[in-house]
């Protein structure tokens, strides 16, 4: 059975993986533990048995998006199926000059995510409680943490992409995925980029975790 790292040890790992964090950013990340624990007791944002691994399994994992791309200031990123704010909230802490739009169809989860963001003074996020098919916003990138199949995600978000380019990669989808992706990526063989999170993220939890990029169009 995998030994569960203490919250302090998980935070230490986060700070080691992202040494550029300012004291303000570290403080915001540190506050997430009590906030998610409190909200998780009211609404099932994270599996109850997994809340003790909040930083390792959820916060650090969310930041795995950076293994594919570091967003430039002014980028607009849409978090599709954010649930309780993952990966959007951790990414918004890491990239304070990037605008994040967190979307989920479950009103209660959006309410919790918004309360968590407000509690830590996160100002570069907005929240939409609606289905992706119904929203009318524009973005440079869509991020997702295993919310749905890539083909489905592409189908419901392709109309949302801006034509303007401002990053090292063309606008597109960046998704955190796990396990064997052969079937899911079959339609994207020539254009998908897949990057494993291990061993950069040096814990066995990340052994089969990957970040996938698919350019829009």
Q: Are 177 and 217 in contact (CB under 8 A)?
A: no
What gap in Å lies between CA 11 and CA 105, rounded to an integer? 30
What gap in Å lies between CA 191 and CA 163, rounded to an integer? 18
The reply to whether 102 sits in an annotated binding site is: no
Rounding to the nearest 10 degrees, give the CA dihedral for residues 180, 184, 187, 192: -60
Sign of the alpha-carbon torsion through 103, 105, 108, 109: negative
The reply to whether 14 sits in an annotated binding site is: no
The reply to whether 132 sits in an annotated binding site is: yes
The reply to whether 203 sits in an annotated binding site is: no
The reply to whether 86 sits in an annotated binding site is: yes
* CB contact set of 103 (below 8 Å; sequence gap of 6+): 78, 79, 80, 81, 82, 127, 128, 130, 132, 135
User: If you search the block for the tokens 């254009």, which residue do you land on?
Assistant: 191
The reply to whether 105 sits in an annotated binding site is: yes
Sign of the alpha-carbon torsion through 38, 40, 208, 191: negative
The reply to whether 104 sits in an annotated binding site is: yes
What gap in Å lies between CA 106 and CA 111, rounded to an integer? 9
CA nearest to 205, candidates 29, 20, 50: 50
The reply to whether 145 sits in an annotated binding site is: yes
Residue ranges of the binding site for S-adenosyl-L-methionine: 81, 86, 104-106, 132-133, 145
Residue ranges of the binding site: 81, 86, 104-106, 132-133, 145
């Amino acid at each position: 059975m995998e030994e569960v790292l203490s919250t302090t040890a998980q935070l230490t790992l986060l700070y080691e993986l992202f040494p550029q964090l300012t004291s303000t950013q570290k403080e915001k990340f540190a506050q997430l533990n009590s906030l998610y624990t409190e909200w998780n007791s009211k609404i099932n944002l994270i599996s109850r048995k997994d809340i003790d691994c909040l930083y390792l399994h959820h916060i650090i994992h969310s930041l795995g998006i950076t293994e594919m791309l570091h967003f430039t200031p002014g980028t607009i990123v849409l978090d599709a199926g954010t649930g309780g704010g993952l990966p959007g909230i951790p990414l918004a802490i890491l990239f304070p000059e990037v605008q994040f739009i967190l979307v989920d169809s479950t009103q209660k989860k959006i309410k919790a995510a918004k309360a968590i963001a407000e509690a830590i003074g996160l100002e570069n996020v907005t929240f939409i409680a609606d289905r992706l098919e119904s929203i009318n916003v524009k973005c440079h990138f869509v991020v997702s943490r295993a919310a749905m199949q890539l083909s489905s995600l592409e189908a419901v978000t392709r109309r949302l992409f801006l034509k303007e380019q401002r990053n090292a990669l063309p606008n597109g989808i960046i998704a955190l995925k796990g396990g064997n992706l052969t079937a899911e990526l079959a339609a994207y063989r020539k254009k998908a980029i897949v990057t494993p999170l291990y061993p950069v993220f040096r814990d066995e939890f990340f052994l089969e975790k990957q970040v996938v990029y698919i350019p829009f169009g």
